Amino acid sequence: MKDIAIVGYQQSDLVSDAGACNEVEMIIPVLGKLYEQVGITNAQDVDFVCSGSCDYLQGAAFAFVMGVDALGAVPPIKESHVEMDAAWALYESILKIRMGQAESALIYGFGKSSPGELPIVLSQQLDPYYLAPLWVDTVSLAAMQARMMLDQGLITEQDMAEVVARSRQNARRNPHAQLAGDVSADDVLAQETFVSPLRKADMCPVSDGASAVVIATVEKAREWGIPYAVISGIDHCIETHNLGMRDLTDSSSTRTAAKNAGMHNGAVDVAELYAPFSHQEIILTRALGLDSNTSINPSGGVLAGNPMMAAGLSRIGEVFNRIVSGEASRGIAHATSGPCLQHNLVTVLEKA
Amino acid sequence: MANLAAVVGIGQTKYTTKRGDVSIAGLVREAAVNALADAELTWNDIDAVILGKAPDMFEGVVMPEIYLTDALGCNGKPMLRVHTAGSVGGSTAIVAASHVQSGTFRRVLTVAFEKQSESNAMWALSSPQPFSTHLNAGAGGYFAPIIREYMRRSGAPYDVGIKVAVKDRLHGARNPLAHLQKPDITMKEVEESFMLWDPIRFLESCPSSDGACAMVIANEELAGQSPKKPAWIRGAAMRSEPTMYAGREEVSPQAGRDCAADVYQQAGITDPRRDLDVAEIYVPFSWYEPMWLENLGFAPEGEGWKLTMEGATSLDENGDIPWNPSGGVLSSNPIGASGMIRFAEAARQVRGDAEQHQVEGAKLAMGHAYGGGAQFFAMWVVGAEKS
């Protein structure tokens, strides 16, 4: 099987409200910077394009259709779309390269969550007959999950606050971060709870933003003469939708995906985990068996900014950045979808 | 070079206005169970599930793969959700095939569905957007002016669309799964049905259906062991172009022509009318048959309507290249599934499994889907033989 590499990554600044800037206007500057980074002109210079977005964020059917307007798809291009985080668009693109129909691909994800009430919008992901009519929102479900962990003595509120403090500290080095600062665990604990036991700081912010990645076969990357990080493994796995049937204090699907992606075949210098709530970072860290040898969420993770449908792809991009800068030799990126970490994807990246 | 892959199981539901007897999960599971039974397999034999449907607003469930994983036996496995507008059923089959053709998986299940009775498609397609003209016209209103332009350019007689509407309903009457069952339909009945979006009459339009379609796709080794005849995937292609751009050819979109050229090249087809035995083509409004006959190279520009009028695309008139023997989109239209039904019906033909709507001796068949304002295309060619 051909070796495939990430050759470029860009993301927009993450903001709480992009205002009148529409989705296409969010995507275009990101793609422009990416083309410059990779040394290509536009989407015509890659063999396949795939995106991730969600109609309900935009409040319109076919949100991705206008996204195509950002690509310059004249003449027509080979293009596809997943109604998922763009990390899964990257997965689809890898299959396309593995089957020999492409040597390179552009992947982008975008989400403008500010116009709606995101936790309420996402409540409509739930079983439409039994759960969605209750309008139980994502924050409440996550709070329930955190409560179970606290009650079972698996974590303390201090542990959660330390995750937040590290995110804010790390994000100070991330120019695109929405939330960053010299915040301590005590500062977090001084906050009132919002949806008990969660404080607002335990939750990712609502963000508008976009990110994009170019992948290519290693041969193509060498031909382009640009730095790259090899994708040595990628896998994903979904669990039951019935929350009562899952152990919400663990993430077995993350563990399965990591094993299948070959995470344990070497040291993990860096891990970017898609944990929208502080306690979920702890669940993921434990499920993956990571210890202090791994730098976790050096970008600040999604607690520093959570552009829906792009944030999972951004995790992969952030690990790529650490590897090409020489900060890390090997790392993993995680993406998630669904309530309480139902569906998880793990990518392993290695230095060329 | 892609690994060989084949369709080894096909399952569909009976298409109808409202499946009030099943939930959304029940609907997709019914198609999946039928596909597994057809392949003589069980859930454990499936390595991944690839789900497709048109906009989530059609049922009001955001990213429904999250909820449907249990019904589709996917827990502990990879689940991918494809959405490429009306072409999604076709795109989903192609993405599912790539799971196997890439050598990553041995055998996958793909399912596409729409349960349109849960919502109102007209509403879902017409939510007003900031800075955009509000097009409260639905798909028919969007395509009617394009059809008029085709009529003007080609000089086709006014009743070509009527003929297609009759032909596909007569085909549909041979297919017990088809939503509309109109074995006695006449040209007069279609002509006298009320005008919806001039020149599209009520009976020249697709219905709104509930339904799901599923396929099991396996690699060469496993397909070789399958109890029933496999349909080998000989080529698959997708193309997209922007919704609007200066000089866009809306009557015969470049994306459709390029996509067809790509899939023909993969399948070794030089003359589609001669080389293919049958085609299942996405025709939601009658006049799209002559338009796609030209766009896909079955007829020279301006002459697609002649094939229709000669009966070349009719099973009942012993045409040389039957189009939509299943009854097509004009007989059943669960939007998100419609493309996959085309792909699956093409596979049924080369498996010799299409019963009353079988094209005798079909060896090579095409499945086609388009979506949006005809800017998204997905096509595949399947064969009774590997090459």
CB pairs under 8 A between A and B: 183
Please give the pLDDT value at position A67: 81
B245, part of any domain: no
Structure tokens at A121: 């919008």
Please give the pLDDT value at position B139: 84
pLDDT confidence tier of residue A68, bands split at 50, 70 and 90: confident
- State the nearest Cα–Cα gap between A343 and chain B, in angstroms: 8
Q: Which residue in chain A is spatially nearest to B127 when comparing CA positions?
A: A60
Quote the DSSP letter at residue B116. G
Find the CB nearest A237 among B59, B64, B78: B78
Q: Which residue in chain A is spatially nearest to B105 when comparing CA positions?
A: A95
- Dmax (CA) of chain A: 59
Please give the pLDDT value at position A149: 98
Residue A264's SS3 state is helix
Structure tokens at B279: 């085609």
Burial class (CB in 10 A: 0-12, 13-18, 19+), B355: exposed
DSSP string, A269-284: -EEE---SBHHHHHHH
Give, to the nearest 10 degrees, the angle between helix A252-260 and helix A278-288: 50
Q: What is the mean pLDDT of residues A79-85?
A: 97
A77 contacts chain B (CB < 8 A): yes
- State the nearest Cα–Cα gap between A283 and chain B, in angstroms: 18
Per CB-CB distance under 8 Å, the chain B contacts of A83 are: 56, 63, 81-83
Question: Rounded to whole angstroms, how far apart are CA atoms A106 and A92?
Answer: 11
Per CB-CB distance under 8 Å, the chain A contacts of B102 are: 94-96, 98-99
Do the beta carbons of residue A206 and residue A326 sit within 8 Å? no
> In order of start, what are the domains of chain A with their CATH numbers?
4-117+206-229 (3.40.47.10)
Neighbours of B321 (CB within 10 A): 21
A269 contacts chain B (CB < 8 A): no
Question: Rounded to whole angstroms, how far apart are CA atoms B110 and A312?
Answer: 24
Find the CB nearest A238 among B2, B74, B240: B74
Q: How many domains does chain B have?
A: 1
B97, part of any domain: yes
Neighbours of B356 (CB within 10 A): 11
- Please report, to the nearest 10 degrees, the dihedral formed by the alpha carbons of residues B257, B262, B266, B272 taken in order: 10
Ordered alpha helix ranges (H), B268-327 = 272-275, 288-295, 304-310
Task: Determine whether the interchain pair A338/B66 forms a contact, defined as Cβ–Cβ distance below 8 Å.
Answer: yes
Question: How many residues are there in chain B?
Answer: 387
Query: Across the 387 residues of chain B, what is the mean pLDDT of every consecutive 10-residue run?
Result: 93 98 98 98 98 93 97 98 94 98 98 93 74 70 95 98 98 98 98 96 97 98 97 98 92 98 98 98 98 98 98 98 98 97 98 98 98 94 97
Question: Rounded to whole angstroms, how far apart are CA atoms A72 and A107?
Answer: 14
Do the beta carbons of residue A310 and residue A110 sit within 8 Å? yes
Please give the pLDDT value at position B127: 72
B281, part of any domain: no
Give per-residue pLDDT as tens, A4-48. 999 999 999 999 999 999 899 999 999 999 999 999 999 999 999
B147, part of any domain: no
B124, part of any domain: no
Question: Rounded to whole angstroms, how far apart are CA atoms B370 and A72?
Answer: 20
B246, part of any domain: no
Q: Which residue in chain A is spatially nearest to B245 when comparing CA positions?
A: A74
Task: Determine whether the interchain pair A73/B124 forms a contact, defined as Cβ–Cβ distance below 8 Å.
Answer: no
- What percent of chain A is helix, strand and coil (3-state, nearest 5)? 40, 20, 40
Please give the pLDDT value at position B212: 98
Please give the pLDDT value at position B134: 64
B37, part of any domain: yes
Structure tokens at A294: 């791994």
Q: Looking at the predicted structure, is the pLDDT value of residue A271 above 80?
A: yes
Backbone φ, ψ for residue B221 (5° rounding): -60, -50
- State the nearest Cα–Cα gap between B361 and chain A, in angstroms: 31
Per CB-CB distance under 8 Å, the chain B contacts of A238 are: 65-66, 69, 74-79
A253 contacts chain B (CB < 8 A): yes
B129 contacts chain A (CB < 8 A): yes
Do the beta carbons of residue B231 and residue B384 sit within 8 Å? yes
Structure tokens at A135: 């309008």
Partners of B16 in the β-ladder:
B210
Please give the pLDDT value at position B135: 62
Ordered alpha helix ranges (H), chain A = 23-38, 55-58, 63-67, 86-98, 118-123, 138-151, 157-171, 185-189, 218-224, 252-260, 278-288, 311-324
A228 contacts chain B (CB < 8 A): no
Structure tokens at B104: 């990553």
User: Residue B213's domain spans which residues?
Assistant: 5-119+208-224
Please give the pLDDT value at position A109: 97
Per CB-CB distance under 8 Å, the chain A contacts of B61 are: 124-125, 128, 132
Q: What percent of chain A stands above pLDDT 70?
A: 100
B110 contacts chain A (CB < 8 A): no
B263, part of any domain: no
Distances (CA, A) of B262 to A245, A287, B237, B258, B379: 46, 45, 6, 6, 9
Task: Determine whether the interchain pair A240/B127 forms a contact, defined as Cβ–Cβ distance below 8 Å.
Answer: no
B249 contacts chain A (CB < 8 A): no
A164 contacts chain B (CB < 8 A): no
Neighbours of B42 (CB within 10 A): 10
Would you tell me which residues 180-239 of chain B have a C-beta closer than 8 angstroms to some C-beta of chain A? 237-239
Structure tokens at B376: 């998204």
Structure tokens at B165: 């509407």
Element (H, E) at B65: helix B65-68
Supply the CATH number for residue B29's domain. Answer: 3.40.47.10
Question: Rounded to whole angstroms, how far apart are CA atoms B221 and B223?
Answer: 6
DSSP string, A16-79: S--TT--HHHHHHHHHHHHHHHHT--SGGGSSEEEEE--HHHHTSTTHHHHHGGGTT--S-B-E
Please give the pLDDT value at position B137: 67
Task: Determine whether the interchain pair B62/A122 forms a contact, defined as Cβ–Cβ distance below 8 Å.
Answer: yes
Please give the pLDDT value at position B132: 67
The answer to whether the Cα torsion of B14, B367, B208, B154 is positive or negative is negative
A28 contacts chain B (CB < 8 A): no
How would you label A2-11 residue by residue, b for 16+ Cβ within 10 Å and e otherwise? eebbbbbbbb
A89 contacts chain B (CB < 8 A): no
Give per-residue pLDDT as tens, A175-203. 999 999 999 999 999 999 999 999 999 99
Please give the pLDDT value at position A8: 98
- State the nearest Cα–Cα gap between B284 and chain A, in angstroms: 19
Find the CB nearest B258 among A75, A98, A236: A75
Which of B24, B27, B66, B70 is the mutation pick for testing A, counting most A CBs within 10 A?
B66
